[in-house]
Structure formats: C-alpha cells, structure tokens
C-alpha cells in the first residue's frame, strides 16, 4: 500500500492534473476494503500525459494490456488520441483514465471531487456520491461489495 501512495505522491510533486477515483478514493472516504492498484482520472492533455510519464521515471512503467508489456514511451503526438493507460510499475499498478463510467469525463470528475489532505499530500478525490454512482454503473462483484460500504459511510455522514 505504501508504494501505491508513493506513486500518488510522485504525481502530486510532478504537478500532474488528476483526481483519485476507484478503490483508493473509497479508502480515502473510509472504506475498509483494500485496493491493489491506483485509479486516477487524468486531464487528457498532451502536457499532462507527459508530466505523468516524467513522474513515473525510474519506476519502469509498462503497458499492462499489451502482450509484450511495452515500456511507456509517450510522445506529444501519441498523447493527442490517448484516452486511457493501464500501467504496471515497479511500485504497483496505475490505471489512468480520461473518463469514469457512470459519471463522465475529467471535467465532470473534477466538479464531483473534493480536495483532501491524505498522508502523501493534498490531492483531489472523487466525491462519495460520484464514487457510488460510478460503482453502480460498473457493477462488477467487487464494486457491488464496495457499494455496501460506501452507502453505509454516506448514511453515517447524513
């Protein structure tokens, strides 16, 4: 878990524009479920993708969804059409999305997020309501389980 936090810390230090979504966002809101990766919604601009690549320097990022596990080597031209990256790094998995099912694109995610002070720094995290909305839309078994916890957290806050 510590190494996943360190990935986020690197992104913050490199001024990557992102919002934490998925399991890490659920944990930030108080979910007891542990995640095995970091999911972020990233502003889909060439400069931002390049800052992401710089932040991961030395962590040996590779494209997780390619059979040959190609090394991450972005160019500004390639970034123009880029929507998502699913990466393995020496510190763990990082999924970079430009939109989240059930909620919308980066601009919508930023609107439905809040700034939180986390152990590794100040960053934007998807709001509890938006997180519930996305988990309902995705509806994988692990998302259904997470929904139980997230809805209980929301009820306790009301």
DSSP 88-108: EETTEEEEEESEETTTEEHHH
Domain that holds residue 56: 2-146
Would 156 be classed as within a structural domain? no
CATH for 66: 3.30.460
The pLDDT of residue 49:
95
Percent of the chain with pLDDT over 70: 99
pLDDT (tens digit, 9 = 90+) per residue, 66-85? 889 999 999 988 888 889 99
Low-confidence ranges of the chain (pLDDT < 70): 1
């Amino acid at each position: 878990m510590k190494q996943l936090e360190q990935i986020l810390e690197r992104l913050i230090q490199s001024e990557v524009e992102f919002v934490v979504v998925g399991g890490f966002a659920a944990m930030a809101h108080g979910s007891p479920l542990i995640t095995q990766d970091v999911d972020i919604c990233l502003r889909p601009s060439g400069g931002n993708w390049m800052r992401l690549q710089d932040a991961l320097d030395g962590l040996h990022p590779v494209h997780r969804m390619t059979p040959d596990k190609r090394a991450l080597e972005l160019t500004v031209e390639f970034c123009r059409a880029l929507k998502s990256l699913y990466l393995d790094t020496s510190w763990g998995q990082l999924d970079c999305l430009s939109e989240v099912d059930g909620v919308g694109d980066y601009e919508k995610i930023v609107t439905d997020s809040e700034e939180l002070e986390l152990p590794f720094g100040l960053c934007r995290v998807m709001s509890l309501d938006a997180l519930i909305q996305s988990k309902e839309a995705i509806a994988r078994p692990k998302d259904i389980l997470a929904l139980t916890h997230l809805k209980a957290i929301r009820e306790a806050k009301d």
